[in-house]
Structure 1
Amino acid sequence: MITNKHTDTHCITSGNKLFYAAVTGRDHSQIVTMGRIGSQHTIRVQSSNSKTGCCLKFFVTILAITVIVLVGVIIWLIYRAPTASDGSAYLFQSGPSTASGGFIEDAVCKLPKDVGPCRGALLRYYFNYETKRCDEFIYGGCKGNANNFQTILECQELCMKPATKIAKTDVCKLPQDVGPCKAMIPRFAYDDNLKACVPFTYGGCQGNGNNFETKEQCEAQCMAFDSYILSLSAFRTFILYFSALTDNACKQPIKVGPCLALIPRYGFDPTVGKCVQFMYGGCEQNENNFETLEACQEICQAAKAEETDVCKLPQDVGPCKARIQRITYDDTIKACVPFTYGGCQGNGNNFETKEECEKKCVATAAKAEETDVCKLPQDVGPCRAMFPRFAYDDTMKACVPFIYGGCQGNGNNFETKEECEKKCVAKASTTEETDVCKLPQYVGPCRARIQRFAYDANLKACVPFTYGGCQGNGNNFETKEQCEAKCMGSLPCEFFGPTVTFDDVDDPCKQPIEVGPCFALIPRYAFNQRAAKCISFNYGGCQGNNNNFETLEAYQQTCSILKISCISKAVPAKQNVQGKGLPERCTLPLSKGPCNMHWRRYAYSFQDNTCRLFIYGGCQGNENNFATREECERECVRSSPYHFLLISN
């Protein structure tokens, strides 16, 4: 039995898991109890005269055990390194280790390349112990081993001795490598010939270390100049840099590449002596590939090409199949004309706007004569598009519509009639009105069905016809008003017609109300003789008689008249006169025609010198047929030399 002189606990660990307790006996020995609760061990230890000695020996023992355990854990982690959620090994992912030539270097850097069982495609680096260099590989994304680095620098820092480490410029001297995969990932690579970081499209797997996510990363890695380069004079650097670029870039052909991206780029075309735009496919470029026109011109165009060099080039659609509307200068007609650009290659005679083309190619000192373009024949071009355009017909001396195919053609091609007339119709000598108006009606070879108007010289009237949509001639008007203004404004007033006695003119207000045989329900006004007042009724839409008014005001102007007298200096009232002074069409009877359309038209009534609404069938009929009441009155009522005096009660 042990008799305690006193009890003194010197060292206790956290909680009740692991503890140390010592009791000093009379013989200066200590009874030591240590371990876990429930499995503690009691031993007698010969005490030194110092109370702190027990704790020191205890901690040395614990430290030795801890070191052994940690070494075992490290060895286990090396040979079976768990991975983080992003696929990178837990060990050494925070940065390069400072150990070299020691245990960790030997344990990690001698491990074989291990892709792992997963199917990811992560670009990583490992140390190839046979070649003594860091190589890239595609990591599957899980498991593997610790010989797995995110960057080549991490691999070099850990596994390569200072004498054998690869300098930064070694990566930058690697060729651009898209890799075998088909992704389209924008990346940057350092071009050792251009001494610049250039964009390229990375396929997504394999490739090499000359592959940077941003231009800044590439420049930070590869474009840091050594002190001896910085010491060069600015002039010498300029000469070396630009001569290298010019020799290697500007003499190379423009290369689209096999990929299918459509990235606008600029390259120097030696055939035209200037930088031109092209559509870069996104991979396998060469040095003749610039992001901006200014960058290309700064490097390749020591002296800009003459204006005529580009403008004399032929129109070039290029091999691609896009349909981009552009403008090109036609040197034969001395004008900028539209064409459809395929989207790639072509040449410098390719402008986005007509203004840009004219600014570039039309010499201000000697512009082309207006008649040069205007005398060209109408040219649809070989393409199959359907663009409505206008061309000047020199035989008719007028701008006529046509359908442009969308490519080639010539300069006699205008988007609007106003533009065509401004360019081609000479202000000094306007064309005779009868030139166009005497042309025959011409539908043209196309199959469209466009409602137009043409002047009929036999009928002395503008008649509707169906235009095919292309070619044709100048006797082609969009509206009846345009046709009449052009062809009927200067016709001589012809006097003809039947003998009319004005006393015999029927009063429309004395006619019975007629609905007509058609089934429309058109609100109208008429005079009811029995009621002796104006009433409203529903007009059927066709036939009927003159006791039919669209508005109450029109009725009041007509049916308040009790007497119509003809006043003329040459002809006294109530005298039989010849109905001369009216155009022939105004003397024709109202004719609906045999067709069954229901078109609202107006016809002139010779008996009461007014224009009346009627329903036109859509074909044949005669020229006493007007689209609006105003046209009818302007043509027929105002043309009469007789003025009717309205006498009311």
Structure 2
Amino acid sequence: MLVNIIFMLLFEALTPMLTEDVCSQKADHGGCRSILVRWYFNNENNKCERFIFGGCKGNKNNFVSEDLCQSHCLPQLRTAVDLCNQPKVTGPCRGYFKRFWHNNDTRKCEEFVYGGCEQNENNFEMAEECVKRCDAIGVEYRIQKLSKRSDAVSICELPAEKGPCVNFTSRFFFNSKTKRCEKFAFGGCTGNDNNFKSFAECRKVCIGNEESTRKPLSTCKLPKRTGRCRARHKRFYFNSETLSCQQFVYGGCSGNANNFKTIETCERLCASQKHKSVS
């Protein structure tokens, strides 16, 4: 009985470490020559990304669907996000220590005075440390949490903001005047939400939202595509023959854009085609 208890305690202690090791491994295509679409967790941008797996060898950071990758690796990201959502705590002591915390309302790392005792985890000695832990997560987390197009539009209309720090890195912002994602020099701290690590990320949030509402017809005319993978995700597609949104089972990879998580999204984006055909 004692041996079983010790084994269970060791397993619980080691499981987070094993999960962390899996999700921090690089994409490994393996040694064989098959062409299999798989997903791996990119530890640099906190995203599950597609890659081609050869069919043998490789490593454990290899999932048959994006959902499996996210369920395995993103809980770590959510834990970090919870840390960055904690309130500012100055504490009851009367010391005077300059610290930084992540303000979830402004989405920025801000300076505050810490009294010296009874702190929480949202307490950093340097602005750069706060930015590295919270702002880097924030960019990807915002994309996952954008549920309304108006939220994305407000972000994409913000001006480029380099911030007060001088640790300059190349970032991208959406220029609402030129309607393009453009490069700018970011100082490394504060700034605003119109700040993306890559050109593709900028397009995904800002241009992708415009295209999804401006050009729904081509998407809605695409055929139903279940994909080659074997997951079973409930999705909806617009049937251009019956002019209605219908449920189907999506395998998890190699689909197309006529693939919606809810029937409401499908009907909202494809309603214009339905009304045009009826009239």
Q: Do they fold alike, i.e. is TM over 0.5? A: no
Larger Rg: 1
Greater RCO, CA 8 A, separation 6+? 2
Interval containing the TM-score (normalised by the shorter chain): 0.3 to 0.5
TM-score computed with the length of structure 1 as normaliser: 0.16
Q: TM-score, normalized by length of structure 2? A: 0.34
